[in-house]
Every structure is written in structure tokens, then in C-alpha cells.
Amino acid sequence: MNTALNLSSSPHARDKWTTAFIMRVVLLALLPATVIGVINAGLHALLVVLVSVASAVLSEFAFDKLCHRPDTWKDCSAAVTGLLLALSLSPSVPLHLPLLGSMFAILVCKCCFGGLGKNFINPALAGRCFLLISFGSAMSSFQVDATTSATPVALLMTGEQVDITKMFFGFTNGVIGSSAAALLVGGLALWAMDIIHGEICFSVLGMFTLVIGLFGGQGFNLQFLMANLFGGGVIMGAFFMATDYVTSPVTKLGQMVYGMLIGLLGGIFRLYGGTADSFSYCVITGNLFVPLIDTYIVAKPYAYRRFQLIKQSSIAGEPLFKRIPRPVIVLTVIALVSGLALSGVYAMTKDTIEDQKRAAQAASFLVVCPEADHFETDPAIDKAIADLNGGVYGSGFGRVTINEGFAALDAGGSTVGHALSVTTADGFDGNITLAVGIGADGAVNGISFTELNETPGMGMRVDESEFKDQFSGKAVSRFTLNKAGGSTAEDEIDSVSGASTTSGAVVNAVNAALDFYRTVVKGEN
């Protein structure tokens, strides 16, 4: 024994896994989604991926060199950041976006905070949000087969139907990594290998589903839930973004709280938020809570935990009573209480809302029949409405329903006209309800809106007199919409510019009211 022996503290055995190994496995897990994305979107998507990864790795390399720090690009964590960023970009973005995004992610969010393990928000998501803010239009233009259209989630948020199978496999408009199936395969593999924490991804997904199910207005409808889960980066966020080691808590309990927080925010943003990109912001918000969670949610050693059972006899199975962590109970209770409170408030205010609606209706009838002193029910109208049974009225008017109708009487008791309330479901943002006043001569007195939720500055402008007054005093059988404007003909209505959908829906509703008036009140056919 003449060689020097090494001395060190025990243990003298180490596991095979290294940082670089874990990062490589994560890269592999992202491969299926990348491949499907590139097949789906074409060569440009591949370029986006390559530029993003190369930019991330080179940024880290350059930073380490310039700042005389040990080389860290070899641990592959920069490559993971680059790939994650690329997968959350539209395949049609110009190539300077992934370049800048990766540079921002690595240099600003990672290196400036001390490199691997020190960044406080997920660099890939930070890079994505940086691009969203800086290059909004390029970031939200999604092109597949040279046609631009909205992403499934954008459609879903406006209440449209989407094709879930296509979404699941990723053959829709969206980011490069939009294949929920491929991401699920990768994510579940990582979970099975114990690389990502199930506590995080499953509490994100669970809480998100719960919120969507409770408050989404469609209950736990599988179709609806899946459409929400498979789009908008939820799977990517839950399995690959939220589970980022550096920006998630280290304790199991903390991870559950963190996951549920992200799921809760994700659900709320999806239901009530204005953008389809909200999940990135949810995860980042969750990241910001991590130092707080790690400071306060500290698990006690087993010996100090409650429910410590001293078994009297020989070994039985594990205790049946598994501990439910307190934060889980607390959050569940909060979710239930707020859900109940919301529905309670609705139930309590329902009648008041109805009363107010009726008052508004009465007021609007007066507006459209200014000569009237009071209104009386008309048996013919009531019968016709009862016959319709809430269904769509006539054909050629879109989805129009007739709510109610009254005869307008002057102080002397003679009929001066009729007032009808109609609703069209063809508005840009939900229902439009309006009152239409028709004089005894069959000409339109005027219209007045009682329910209008259109886009401010655009569809909302149908409520301005410039548009509304076009109907007044005209006795035509049917109005037509002139999208170009500058109408001269009696039956033409100029569209509010930029809001032809809303304008068209209103014109159709008025036409329906006129048709109803002629058929039911006048008995024409």
C-alpha cells in the first residue's frame, strides 16, 4: 500500500443519476411532441425548435465564458429551456422570436439570478411571456395549411364547439407542442420514472378540472372538460412547466398546495379571463409563491407527525387511515364554500334580477311606443308565443325567439301600435334582446336594447342612435343590411363598421318582429 488513499466524508457510494442525465431524459420525453409538431406544421417548425435550443445553449455558454463561471451548458438544462420555449411558440413565428425568447429566458431569467437552481420563475415560460408582450400579433397568429384561424381554445372561450380528437393528437391550429397525446406520453413516462412529482402535475390537473367542472356552466361534461384540458398548454404546463424542479416547492405538501394554486388560477383564467394564453401566467404566478411555500410549509420528521400509531402486535398492513394533508382540506373547503356562495348569491338575487329585467322591458316598451299610455296583453300574441314554446321563430331570421308582445293603448283606450320583445342568439358575444315598437300603420316606431353584451367600441355601437334611428318611421316588409354603408334605399340599414355580425343579428331580429306582427296581429300571410 504505497499509494495515497482518498479521504472524504461518508457515504462512499453514489447513485448513477446526474443532473445531465435527468435533463436528457426530459429532452427525450419532449421528443414525441416535437416530432408530431414538426410533422403537423412543417419545416419551419423544425427551424423554430433548432433556433430556440441553439440560442438557449449558446447564451448560457457565452454567459459562463464572459463571467468566468464554470461551464454549465453541458448539463443540458439550457437545452430543455430552449425546447420548452420552442414547443410553446406558434410554428409560423419569424425566427428572431425564438432567438430573442431563448436569450431572454437564459440570460435574464436564469443566469442573472445565479444560474441553474437559482431562477425564481420558469425561464421558458418567462421567455414566452416576454415574447407575448413584445410581439403580440406574431405570437398569436396560428397558421396551418396556409390558412389562419383561431386556436381551439380561443374558439372554446367564445363558446364554440371543437374537435377533441384532433386537439388530443395535436392536428389543430396551435403551438408546435400542441399534441396533448404526445405530451401526456412524455409526462407520464417522466412521472413513472420518478423524475417529475405526481403531487404537482396531478393537483394542477385535478384542481383545474374541478374549477372548470364547477364553474364552467356545463357541469362535469366529459367532452367539455377534455376540450379544456387538451388545449391552451394545460398538459404542457402541468407536466413540464409547473414541475420544473427549481421553481417548485421541495416538500410533498408544498407541492400539492402549489399545484392546486396553479390549477385554481388556470381554471379561473380560462373561464373568466380574456386570453387563451393564460396558463403560462398561472404557472408563473405559482412560481412566485414557491419561496413562501418553502418557508412555511415544512414537513415535520415522521416522529413528530400526528396520527403516529403505536402498533400493539406484530406487523399489520399500513394504517387504513391515510393522512390527508391539511392544505388539501383547506383548499377543498375554500373551493366548496366559494362555489356554494356563488350559486347561493345567484339563487337569492334571481328574482330581483327578473324584476329589474321586467322593469327595463316596460321602460323600453315606452321608448319604442312613445304615444302609448299603457300596455295590454293581446290574446292572439300570447297564443302565438305559447305555440312557439320558446323555439326559434320562422326561417331566415337566424336564431331569433319572440319573448312577449303587448298592444299599446293611448289614454282613450284605442290601439296606437304594438310592442314586441325579441331575442337573437346570433350576437358576437351571446344574446341580444331588444324591444321593437310598431305603429298602427305597420311602420317601425323604434328599437331599444334590453340585453346587449357586445364588444365595447364595436358591436356595442348598435345602441347608438346613428344605427338605431335608421329603423324609425320606415314601413317596409323586410330590412336588409348594407355592410358597405351609405345606404339610400328605404329598406337598407347601414352596418356599424367592424361589427357586421352584431348589426346583422339586430336587423334579423327586427325583421322577425315585423314578420311576427304581420302574421299574428294583422293576420297576413
Partner 1 sequence: MVKNTFRGGVHPLGHKELSREAPLCEFLPTGDMVFPLSQHIGKPARCIVKKGDGVLVGQRIAEADGFVSSHIVCSCSGKVKAIEKRRTLTGSSMDCIVVENDGLFTPAEGFGVRENPDNITNEDILQRVQDAGIVGLGGAGFPTHVKLRPKNPDAIRYVIANGAECEPYLTCNDQLMRVKSDAIVEGLELILRLFPGAEGVIAIEDNKPVAIAAMKQAASGKKHIRVLPLKTKYPQGGERSLIRVIAGVDFPISRLPADVGCIVDNVGTIYAIQRAVLYREPLFSHCFTLTGEAVRNPGNYIVRDGTSFAELLESSGGLKDGVTAKKALAGGPMMGIAMSSLDVPIQKQNNGLTLLAEDPNEQAQAQMTACLRCGRCTTVCPVGLLPQLMADAAIDGNYERYEKKLRGLECIQCGSCTYICPAKRPLMQILKQAKSEITARKRAEAGGKK
Dmax over Cα atoms in the chain, in whole Å? 125
User: Does residue 306 interact with partner 1 by CB under 8 A?
Assistant: no
Binding mask 63-92 for partner 1 (x = CB under 8 A): ---------x--x-----------------
Supply 194's cell numbers: 420518478
CB 118 within 8 A of CB 290: no
User: Does residue 6 interact with partner 1 by CB under 8 A?
Assistant: yes
Out of 11, 379, 391, 456, the only residue in the binding site for partner 1 (CB under 8 A) is 11
Find the shortest distance in angstroms from Cβ 288 to partner 1. Answer: 15
Which listed range, 44-52, 314-322, 495-503, 506-514, lies at the site for partner 1 (CB under 8 A)?
314-322
Out of 166, 305, 357, 383, the only residue in the binding site for partner 1 (CB under 8 A) is 305
Binding mask 257-286 for partner 1 (x = CB under 8 A): ------------------------------
Beta carbon nearer to partner 1, 20 or 28 = 20
Cα-flanking dihedrals φ and ψ of residue 452, to 5°? -150, 115
User: Does residue 24 interact with partner 1 by CB under 8 A?
Assistant: no
Find the shortest distance in angstroms from Cβ 302 to partner 1. Answer: 4
CB 207 within 8 A of CB 260: yes
Find the shortest distance in angstroms from Cβ 24 to partner 1. Answer: 12
CB 162 within 8 A of CB 227: yes
For 283-304, give the DSSP string: HHHHHHHHHHHHHH--PPPGGG
Out of 133, 310, 324, 386, the only residue in the binding site for partner 1 (CB under 8 A) is 310
Distance CA 522, CA 525 (A): 9
Binding mask 141-180 for partner 1 (x = CB under 8 A): ----------------------------------------
Q: Distance of alpha carbon 506 from its chain centroid, rounded? A: 28
C-alpha gyration radius of the chain:
31
CB 437 within 8 A of CB 419: yes
Q: Distance of alpha carbon 296 from its chain centroid, rounded? A: 32
Query: Residue 431: which of 352, 505, 498 has the closest Cα?
Result: 505
Find the shortest distance in angstroms from Cβ 196 to partner 1. Answer: 9
User: Does residue 346 interact with partner 1 by CB under 8 A?
Assistant: no
User: Which residues inside 112-131 make contact with partner 1, applying CB under 8 A?
Assistant: 114-118
User: Does residue 250 interact with partner 1 by CB under 8 A?
Assistant: yes
Beta carbon nearer to partner 1, 247 or 445 = 247
Size of the site for partner 1 (CB under 8 A): 51
User: Does residue 431 interact with partner 1 by CB under 8 A?
Assistant: no
Out of 92, 151, 248, 421, the only residue in the binding site for partner 1 (CB under 8 A) is 248
Find the shortest distance in angstroms from Cβ 296 to partner 1. Answer: 9
Find the shortest distance in angstroms from Cβ 312 to partner 1. Answer: 8
Q: Distance of alpha carbon 163 from its chain centroid, rounded? A: 16
User: Does residue 21 interact with partner 1 by CB under 8 A?
Assistant: yes
Which listed range, 155-163, 240-248, 272-280, 495-503, lies at the site for partner 1 (CB under 8 A)?
240-248
Which listed range, 162-170, 232-240, 301-309, 421-429, lies at the site for partner 1 (CB under 8 A)?
301-309
Which listed range, 309-317, 323-331, 363-371, 457-465, lies at the site for partner 1 (CB under 8 A)?
309-317
Find the shortest distance in angstroms from Cβ 244 to partner 1. Answer: 9
User: Which residues inside 487-506 make contact with partner 1, applying CB under 8 A?
Assistant: none
Region class of 76: left (phi > 0), else alpha (psi between -120 and 50), else beta: left
The helix/strand/coil state of 49 is helix
User: Does residue 252 interact with partner 1 by CB under 8 A?
Assistant: yes
Give the helix, strand, coil percentages of the chain, each rounded to 5: 55, 10, 35
CB neighbourhood size of 274 (10 A): 8
List Cα–Cα distances, 257 to 142, 203, 270, 314, 376, in angstroms.
34, 8, 20, 36, 60
Distance CA 65, CA 71 (A): 7
CB 375 within 8 A of CB 515: no
> Who contacts 88 (Cβ-Cβ below 8 Å, separation ≥6)?
124, 125, 128, 175, 176, 177, 233, 236, 280
CB 123 within 8 A of CB 109: yes
Find the shortest distance in angstroms from Cβ 332 to partner 1. Answer: 24
User: Which residues inside 184-223 make contact with partner 1, applying CB under 8 A?
Assistant: 194, 197
Find the shortest distance in angstroms from Cβ 69 to partner 1. Answer: 11
Distance CA 4, CA 8 (A): 13
Beta carbon nearer to partner 1, 17 or 272 = 17
Distance CA 92, CA 110 (A): 27
Distance CA 91, CA 170 (A): 13
Beta carbon nearer to partner 1, 305 or 358 = 305
Q: Cite the beta strand spans of 15-111 per DSSP E.
A: none
Sign of the Cα torsion 453, 458, 463, 467 reads negative
- Residue for cell digits 411558440? 89
Beta carbon nearer to partner 1, 114 or 219 = 114
Out of 10, 137, 389, 525, the only residue in the binding site for partner 1 (CB under 8 A) is 10
Which listed range, 15-23, 26-34, 182-190, 453-461, lies at the site for partner 1 (CB under 8 A)?
15-23
Find the DSSP H helices in 369-451.
Answer: 379-388
Out of 67, 222, 309, 324, the only residue in the binding site for partner 1 (CB under 8 A) is 309
Which listed range, 150-158, 161-169, 245-253, 456-464, lies at the site for partner 1 (CB under 8 A)?
245-253
The helix/strand/coil state of 264 is helix
Q: Which residues bind partner 1 (CB under 8 A)?
A: 1, 3, 5-15, 17-22, 72, 75, 114-118, 194, 197, 245-246, 248, 250-252, 255, 294, 298-305, 308-311, 314-315, 317
